Chain A
Amino acid sequence: MPPAEVRAAHFASAEQQLAAARMGMWLFVASEVLLFTGLFVAYAAYRFLFPETFAQASRHLDLFLGTLNTVVLITSSLTVALAVHFASAGRSKLAAAMLAASIAFGVAFLLVKAREYGHHFETRALPGRHYGLEGLTLPGASLFFTLYFFMTGLHALHVLVGVGVLGWVAARCYRGDFSAEYHTPVELGGMYWHLVDLVWIFLYPMLYLI
């Protein structure tokens, strides 16, 4: 059952509303890209200044867990894409199931990340003045970990928000709020999740594969 009022009163048509919603989301995505760009540029600058330090610091990260998380996040993107696909075909329950799977992947990602963080705290591979990693005293080493924590932390925050968004959309999907004609929240929530994936696609080689 599509809800009675899917079109807000100030729009002339449902098409106009959908176009506006999509454009708004793309602008938001663009804005988020620029948010992470600041960190990417800081990373590029310091890697340029301290190439050897960054290469060695990278080896103190757990490559296996990083790769595992990459696969987890890519797969969660697939399930989200499928959720949008099924929602657009009117298969709301199936879409809700796909979203639930994505949430599970998202939580798994966060758990793996938490495990990595735990290890960093043990070895004091920490940012700035908290840095005290044994065996890596090259200049600029603490900068790598500042960037690492800021980048992955900001990303994890986005994952957390994404899990919340997907949960809300999944619940509405399951309740039957959406139809083949109107499923904009599924689409936009999905785009947000893909954005999270997009950022990680760059973080993975930059942090783990030097």
Chain B
Amino acid sequence: MNGAEAWAPGPPERTYLNARRGVVSWLTTRDHKRIGLMFLMGSLTALLIGGAMAMAIRLELLSPGPSVMDALTYNRFFTLHGVVMIFLFMVPAIPSVFGNFLLPIMLGAKDVAFPRLNLASFYLYLAGAALALWGMIHGGADTGWTFYAPYSTTTPTQVAPILLGVFTVGMSSIFTGLNFIVTIHTMRAPGLSWGRLPLFVWAVYGASIIQVLATPVLGLVLLLVAAEHTFGFGLFDPARGGDPLLMQHLFWFYSHPTVYIQVLPAMGVISEVVACFSRRPVFGYRMVAASSLGIALVGFFVWGHHMFIAGQSTFDSGVFGVLSMMVGVFTAIKVFNWVGTLYRGAVSFTTPFAYLMGFLYFLVFGGMTGVAVATVSLDVHWHDTYFVVAHFHFIMVGGVMMAFLAALHYWFPKMFGRRYPEGWGLVSAVLIILGFNATFVPQFLLGNLGMPRRYYQYPERFEALNVASSAGATLLAFGFLLILVYLLLSLRYGEKAGDNPWLSKGFEWNTRSPPPEHNFERMPIIEGAPHDYGAPPEVAHATR
């Protein structure tokens, strides 16, 4: 990563990457940028593992009967896929990686408020991930990532270490969120009022509130399940008067808002990308900022929509169904404003922009099917089928993953001072968006035909659509590998980017790329809103 010297004509620039050397300087760093990079490595590893699991699942589902693995292995694989992707990749992906790297720079601060806590947060993540992965190798779990009682409390597989691992990762998430909230409140540069905060910061703020307030409930319920499995405490055991639905209530009180821990920062990324690549500040800044907080808040009122057919009361189902649709309102506010930003913008079609288009498409379709499954009567048909699987993959992979990739490309020059090959970037973006559609559109159809999720075998009439889905997954995997290859190569051989290759007016570009060790040579004073491009002639040109 220190290839900069080879190109630099004069003495090498002092950046956060080469200011200190050696592995120990990384492992003991309190620099938010280095911690962000370590999170990036961690979550990319998780993505690789989770992706390999997904490919194994799709391989098994290529044919109706048993093929490459037995049923228990299949159950383990989809559990691991869910646990790894959600807790080890999705939750830290944008907040812990890009939030860490960019938040202090966007705020004009030298670091987050609690740098040591930040490092501790990384090690908690690492420890939790190690524990969970150890549990997966050592017996695994076959419960699905939701760990529903009473199955999770009686299964012979090893759920306890995985639960404790996720608990530890949750602590990491709480500390990251806490750190970010305090940083946003107390570390803003002079002149950076709340009304000038970059929208990415607003989005991360909303997500952080969820992280701090919801994660402890998940932690508790995981402890309860682990204790029940290991010591027979029987809190959710129907034979002792326990209510398994109570476990689901506590679980989803976190695990629904956790979707917004993932999606909100993704929306923040999109707000930055859309402004930069249409050369306009985001249309309706206030509404977009406020809707981030709105989603964070309303996201807490909807958890029961996961339990429509689980035996929850019809009264609660009605309440949760109606409240769930409100999330659609806030999301629509954002979508309309992004589209409003694009309209008459001077659009440049780069790789991040391609992912932005993908994001909008997936979010709109995933969101609309979300409103559909929030309707109790329809959900009775779709619940626990591939329709729901496709729906949340549209939001979580289609939405969050697109934003993650947009962020990775948009801020790659910021982080490493190098450019990636734009042509290959666009090729892989097309591959991924096509592959993604090919994977999950058939799953919508399968679910609507009644194919249940998590089943090991299926009737032969579902074979064609399953083959299509597996083929799409292959395309998707190929796209990801392509990205991995060219980004790794670009680290060393990429064209030098200069300080601001996109000519972006986002606040994070106020400093050099890659930034110096303490972010700024001179502490900035903020004098305007982010992405203030004025009215350059190209814009006037593009309108007619």
A–B proximity contact (CB within 8 A): yes
Give me the interface of A with B, judged by CB distance under 8 Å: 8-11, 16, 19-20, 23-24, 27-28, 30-32, 34-39, 41-42, 45-46, 49-50, 127-130, 139-140, 142-143, 146-147, 149-150
Q: Chain B residues near A24 (CB, 8 Å)? A: 113-114, 117, 178-179, 182
Closest to B253 in A: A38
Given the known A-B contacts A10-B109, A50-B241, A150-B224, are A34 and B214 also in contact in the complex, defined by CB atoms under 8 Å? yes
Interface of chain B residues 78 through 111 with chain A (CB within 8 A): 109-111
Cα of A9 to Cα of B237 in the assembled complex, Å: 53
* A42 adjacent to B113 (CB under 8 Å): no
User: In the assembled complex, which residues on chain A have CB atoms less than 8 Å from the CB atom of B178?
Assistant: 24, 27-28, 31
| A129:B182 contact, CB within 8 angstroms | no
The 8 Å CB contact of B182, one of A27, A143, A147, is A27
A9-B110, A20-B114 known; A35-B235 Cβ under 8 A: no
A-B contact pairs, 26 of them (CB 8 A): A10-B110, A19-B185, A24-B113, A24-B178, A27-B177, A31-B215, A34-B214, A35-B220, A38-B217, A38-B221, A38-B224, A39-B220, A41-B246, A42-B246, A46-B242, A127-B231, A128-B231, A128-B237, A128-B240, A130-B232, A143-B234, A143-B235, A146-B234, A146-B235, A149-B233, A150-B227
Alpha-carbon gap, A30 to B177, bound state (A)? 12
Cβ-closest 4 pairs across A and B: A128-B234, A38-B220, A35-B216, A129-B232
Q: B174 near A: Cβ within 8 Å?
A: yes
Is the contact region of chain B dominated by helix, strand, or loop, or is it mixed?
Answer: helix
Contact A20 B187 (CB under 8 A): yes
| Chain B residues with CB under 8 A of A28 | 178
Q: CB distance A150 to B213 under 8 Å?
A: no
Alpha-carbon distance A91/B286, docked complex (angstroms): 49
A41–B249 Cα gap in the complex (Å)? Answer: 10
Contact B228 A128 (CB under 8 A): yes
Question: Bound complex: CA of A113 vs CA of B113, how far in Å?
Answer: 38
Residues from chain A with a CB closer than 8 A to the CB of B110 are 9-10
Contacts of A34 in B (CB 8 A): 213-214, 216-217
Of the candidates A19, A20, A128, the one whose C-beta lies within 8 Å of that of B235 is: A128
Q: B174 to A140, Cβ gap below 8 A? A: no
Write the B167-182 contact mask toward A (1 if CB under 8 angstroms, else 0).
Answer: 0000000100111011
Q: How many A-B residue pairs have CB under 8 A?
A: 115
The listed residue with most B CB atoms (<10 A of its CB), out of A27, A30, A49, A139, is A27
Question: B523 CB to closest chain A CB, in angstroms?
Answer: 8
At the interface, yes or no: B212 with Cβ under 8 Å from chain A?
A: yes
For the complex formed, measure the closest distance between the CB of A139 and the CB atoms of chain B, giving whole angstroms: 5
A143 lies within 8 A of B241 (CB): yes
Asked if A31 and B235 make an inter-chain contact with CB atoms under 8 angstroms apart, the answer reads: no
Please, how many angstroms separate the alpha-carbon atoms of A39 and B240 in the complex?
17
Assembled-state Cα–Cα distance A168/B227 (Å): 31
* CB–CB A38/B233 < 8 A: no
Instruction: Determine if B181 and A23 form an interchain contact, defined as CB atoms under 8 angstroms apart.
Output: yes
B13 interfacial by beta-carbon distance below 8 Å: no
- In the bound complex, residues from chain B placing their C-beta under 8 Å from that of A146 are 233-235
Q: How far is the CB of A143 from chain B (nearest CB, A)?
A: 6
Docked-complex contact A23 and B231, CB < 8 angstroms: no
Q: List 11 additional A-B contacts (Cβ < 8 Å) besides A20-B114, A41-B246.
A: A10-B187, A16-B187, A31-B178, A38-B220, A38-B221, A46-B241, A128-B237, A129-B232, A130-B231, A140-B240, A140-B241
Are the CB atoms of B234 and A127 closer together than 8 Å?
yes
